[in-house]
Amino acid sequence: MSAPVGAPPRSMILDQSIKVLYHSILVLALYFEFAGHNLPGGGFVGGLMAGAAVSLRYVSGGAEAVRTTFRAPSHVILGVGLFLSSATALVPVLLGGAVLEHAEYETKLPIFGKVKVVSALSFDAGVFLVVVGLVLMAFAAFGDDRVPTETDDEATQ
């Protein structure tokens, strides 16, 4: 990916550093997401970490790099997250429980051993997607990286 015509040159050291950091921060965000219901963290903190990774992507490649990071549009990611967290909160009410009442499922897997899954994980996943969707929408609102052309100047006059 090269810089647009007329744009300042990009730093190769910055680009390569961000390529390494981006994936590392996303792994940390997923760790916070999955460890959140037992340890400090969860969907919000994981989403903030993923948002920080997207911010680094913006610094390196601009708005176009952020747009191509995820296949789904930002409003779809936000909507799916909102639906998932709302559904997780309301399904227990439909089953005769309280709002946000959680359920646990425990099983033994061959490699991982004893694994406990809590329904709060799906709520955290929804919050994670809402935060990431909001960050993506904020960067989309920053606008284009395009360099104005002569035809743009003529259209404004």
| Residue 137: both structure tokens together | 């929408």
Q: Flag whether pLDDT at 152 surpasses 60.
A: no
Determine which of 94-98, 100-104, 125-129, 141-145 has the lowest per-residue pLDDT on average: 141-145
Upper half-sphere CA count for residue 2 (Cβ side, 13 Å): 3
Which of the 8 DSSP states describes residue 142?
T
Q: Given pLDDT bands bounded at 50, 70 and 90, which one contains residue 53?
A: very high
**Residue scoring higher pLDDT (47 or 140):** 47
Domain boundaries defined on the chain: 12-145
CA–CA dist 58, 66 (Å, integer): 6
Q: How far is CA 48 from the centre of its chain?
A: 8
**pLDDT at residue 42, as a whole number:** 85
Q: Given pLDDT bands bounded at 50, 70 and 90, which one contains residue 156?
A: low
**pLDDT at residue 65, as a whole number:** 82
pTM listed for this prediction = 0.79
Amino acid at 41: G
**pLDDT at residue 52, as a whole number:** 94
Amino acid at 39: L
**pLDDT at residue 37, as a whole number:** 65
DSSP-based three-state secondary structure for 104: strand
**pLDDT at residue 96, as a whole number:** 87
Instruction: Determine phi and psi for 47, rounding to 5 degrees.
Output: -65, -40
